[in-house]
């Protein structure tokens, strides 16, 4: 099968490929039943993106020339192109020859090749019968269902009946006032006009990138980081400049030379208890990033989600608290310190940015999340939220200690390496060379436990097969015992292979 591509042509490459395959079928050069090369192989041969081949094959499927099946790939199928039988009704023939829309070709490439492996693992956090060390979810113990029910009842019985199920685009005004008070306890002085409320940090980073990132802009990010961050940057058209980390987080030594040569649009950093490593950025590195931001006028996006969950250290001041030039966009989420699923996220930034967020909300979401805002407001006003932060720390510290104690019993036998996290909700474990994280995950899932393999935290997935991330905040103490036992069983299975 010969295919020649003209990359200067105005005809999309996927259509050039599809048309040439179709022409060879019609000429009889390719016959029915012919197995087409896999997407990966043909993409390599033609030096194009794999998604281009996917679009071409789907175009041929829509034409009725190709069929596909799981595990067997794509084959030429001429049955739909046969002449209709003489006694076949016209209506039946029309239905048989009807062409389908090529939905794959209509999707933007950024979404058509979207990697959802991380999401599939996260969703298992809520499967009955599965012990999940995979999701970054708040501990369940600090808030009881009965208490939450009473809180909702009090909200419905309040004088704010006109607000039922609706919230302003910028977020509830009273809640933003409470957030101002909370920010003051963290050394960040703002007013309600500097705050935009979101449902979660994923939504916040999407709005930030959609508003200010232009196609081809470069973003400095630490490696490793959450897939939600670098996937959002890519979908927005940005390019990633990954900066290596050590046990203290992003390494700043050579950043200035990189900034001068690459001229990035943003610096993105998770300052407190990096996801997945648990590293906390020292004060001197935070100051270094801020100095570079001032010198080169580069905005910093600081994600500070886990900063309240410190166990063995005192909290380090956020970059935003040191920012006298208003160069930092500060993202904070209550997803780890509120009722699971009922927390909110918010951004603290320049008022011009906040106003634009309101405009974007009006286009994308006519009715922002109401219930979570009201619950958060209720708990903040009554002081419950601040009080429960201590309980969250005690609960998560106990779970961390239990998980570490159990893993320590067999860590030497299976050559596991990790540092006990001083905060946050994750264990980042290095595996020996003879264990692959993906194979290990297959084994634990068979036994009813899931975690996240390390490679998903590397944008290019070129590393990380020797690491796993375990979450200890959401599972119960008994689930931690059972899940670690499954991990040990899976490790033993890999060792005997």
| Mean pLDDT on 284-295 | 97
Task: Give which of 371, 374, 348, 357 is closest to 169, Cα–Cα.
Answer: 357
| Mean pLDDT on 120-140 | 84
| Mean pLDDT on 210-215 | 94
Confidence of residue 83 (pLDDT cuts 50, 70, 90): very low
- Beta carbons within 8 Å of 78's beta carbon, 6+ residues apart: 25, 31, 32, 65
| Interatomic CA distance for residues 425 and 336, integer angstroms | 8
Confidence of residue 85 (pLDDT cuts 50, 70, 90): very low
| Mean pLDDT on 100-125 | 74
Task: Give which of 431, 458, 424 is closest to 245, Cα–Cα.
Answer: 458
Least confident interval from 126-135, 329-338, 486-495: 126-135
| Mean pLDDT on 349-367 | 89
Cβ count near 491 (within 10 Å)? 22
Task: Give which of 317, 300, 22 is closest to 187, Cα–Cα.
Answer: 317
Angle, alpha carbons 26-28-31 (nearest 5°): 105
- As given in the structure block, the two tokens for residue 314 are 């005192």
The pLDDT of residue 248 = 94
| Mean pLDDT on 340-362 | 91
pTM for the whole structure = 0.83
The pLDDT of residue 101 = 79
Confidence of residue 59 (pLDDT cuts 50, 70, 90): confident
- As given in the structure block, the two tokens for residue 55 are 């679009």
Whether domain 13-112 has CATH 1.10.490.10: no
Least confident interval from 71-85, 124-138, 317-331: 71-85
The radius of gyration of the chain from alpha carbons, rounded to an integer in Å, stands at 26
CATH fold of 145-386, please?
3.40.640
pLDDT digits (tens, 9 = 90+) for 386-415: 999 999 999 999 999 999 999 999 999 999
The pLDDT of residue 495 = 87
CATH fold of 117-136+389-495, please?
3.90.1150
User: What is the share, in percent, of the chain residues with pLDDT greater than 90?
Assistant: 64
- pLDDT > 60? residue 470: yes
- Beta carbons within 8 Å of 224's beta carbon, 6+ residues apart: 245, 274, 275, 276, 277, 454, 457, 458, 464
Q: How far apart are the first and last CA of the chain?
A: 41
Q: Scan for tokens 């993906």, then name that residue.
A: 438
Contact 318, 430 (CB under 8 A): no
The SS3 call for residue 93 is: helix
The pLDDT of residue 129 = 83
Confidence of residue 371 (pLDDT cuts 50, 70, 90): confident
The per-residue DSSP string of 190-217 comes to --GGGEEEESSHHHHHHHHHHHHPPTT-
Least confident interval from 246-250, 262-266, 331-335, 459-463: 459-463
| Mean pLDDT on 432-436 | 93
DSSP 8-state assignment for residue 412:
T
- pLDDT > 60? residue 87: no
| Interatomic CA distance for residues 201 and 197, integer angstroms | 10
| Mean pLDDT on 26-49 | 88
Q: Starting from the edge strand earliest in sequence, which strands make up the sheet with 218-223, in order?
A: 195-198, 345-348, 328-333, 300-303, 266-270, 218-223, 239-246, 249-250
pLDDT digits (tens, 9 = 90+) for 10-23: 888 999 999 999 99
Per the prediction, the chain carries an average pLDDT of: 89
| Mean pLDDT on 363-380 | 85
The pLDDT of residue 349 = 97
| Mean pLDDT on 327-356 | 93
**Alpha helix locations (H) across 47-159?**
50-62, 90-96, 103-106, 109-112, 117-123, 145-156
Confidence of residue 100 (pLDDT cuts 50, 70, 90): confident
User: What is the share, in percent, of the chain residues with pLDDT greater than 70?
Assistant: 92
CA 370 to chain centroid = 23
Please, where in the chain does CATH 3.40.640.10 lie?
145-386
- Beta carbons within 8 Å of 298's beta carbon, 6+ residues apart: 259, 264, 265, 266, 267, 292, 327
| Interatomic CA distance for residues 429 and 416, integer angstroms | 7
| Mean pLDDT on 378-393 | 95
| Interatomic CA distance for residues 60 and 104, integer angstroms | 11
Please, where in the chain does CATH 1.10.10.10 lie?
13-112
The pLDDT of residue 190 = 96
The pLDDT of residue 105 = 75
| Mean pLDDT on 271-294 | 96
Confidence of residue 114 (pLDDT cuts 50, 70, 90): low
| Mean pLDDT on 354-383 | 88
- Beta carbons within 8 Å of 215's beta carbon, 6+ residues apart: 237, 238
Q: Give the burial string for 140-175 (b: 16+ CB within 10 Å, else e).
A: ebbbeeeeeeebeeebeeeeeeebeeebebbbbebb
- pLDDT > 60? residue 94: no
The pLDDT of residue 112 = 62
């Amino acid at each position: 099968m010969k295919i020649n591509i003209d990359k200067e042509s105005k005809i999309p490459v996927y259509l050039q490929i599809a048309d040439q395959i179709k022409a060879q079928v019609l000429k009889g050069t390719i016959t029915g039943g012919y197995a087409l090369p896999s997407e990966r192989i043909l993409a390599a041969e033609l030096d194009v993106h794999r998604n281009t081949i996917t679009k071409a094959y789907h175009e041929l499927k829509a034409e009725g020339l190709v069929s596909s099946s799981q595990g067997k790939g794509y084959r030429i199928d001429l049955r739909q192109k046969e002449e209709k039988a003489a006694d076949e009704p016209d209506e039946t023939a029309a239905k048989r020859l009807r062409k389908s829309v090529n939905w794959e070709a209509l999707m933007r490439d950024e979404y058509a090749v979207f990697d959802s492996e991380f999401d599939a693992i996260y969703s298992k956090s809520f499967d009955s019968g599965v012990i999940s060390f995979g999701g970054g979810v708040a501990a369940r113990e600090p808030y009881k269902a009965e208490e939450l029910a009473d809180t909702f009842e009090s909200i419905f019985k309040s004088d704010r009946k006109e607000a039922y199920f609706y919230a302003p685009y910028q977020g509830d005004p009273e809640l933003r006032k409470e957030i101002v008070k909370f920010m003051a306890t963290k050394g960040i002085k703002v007013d309600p006009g500097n705050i935009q409320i979101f449902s979660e940090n994923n939504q916040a980073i999407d709005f930030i990138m959609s508003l200010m990132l232009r196609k081809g802009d470069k973003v400095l990010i630490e490696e490793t980081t959450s897939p939600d961050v670098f996937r959002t940057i890519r979908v927005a058209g940005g390019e990633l400049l990954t900066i290596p980390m050590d046990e203290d987080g992003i390494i700043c030594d050579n950043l200035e030379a990189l900034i001068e040569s690459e001229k990035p649009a943003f610096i993105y950093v998770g300052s407190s208890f990096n996801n997945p490593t648990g590293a906390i950025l020292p004060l001197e590195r935070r100051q270094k990033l801020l100095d570079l931001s001032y010198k080169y006028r580069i905005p910093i996006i600081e994600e500070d989600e886990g900063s309240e969950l410190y166990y063995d250290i005192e909290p380090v001041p956020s970059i935003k608290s040191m920012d006298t030039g208003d160069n930092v966009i500060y993202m904070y989420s209550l997803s780890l310190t509120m009722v699971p699923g009922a927390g909110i996220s918010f951004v603290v930034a320049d008022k011009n940015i906040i106003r634009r967020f309101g405009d974007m909300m009006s286009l994308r979401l006519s009715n922002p999340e109401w219930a979570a805002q009201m619950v958060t407001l209720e708990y903040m006003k009554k002081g419950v939220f601040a009080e429960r932060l201590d309980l969250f720390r005690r609960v998560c510290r106990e779970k961390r200690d239990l998980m570490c104690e159990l893993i320590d019993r067999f860590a030497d036998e299976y050559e596991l390496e990790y540092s006990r996290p001083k905060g946050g909700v994750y264990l980042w474990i290095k595996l020996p060379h003879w264990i692959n994280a993906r194979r290990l995950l297959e084994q634990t899932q068979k036994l009813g436990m899931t975690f996240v393999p390390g490679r998903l935290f590397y944008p290019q997935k070129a590393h990380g097969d020797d690491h796993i991330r375990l979450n200890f905040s959401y599972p119960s103490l008994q689930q931690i015992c059972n899940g670690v036992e499954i991990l040990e069983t899976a490790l033993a299975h890999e060792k005997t292979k």
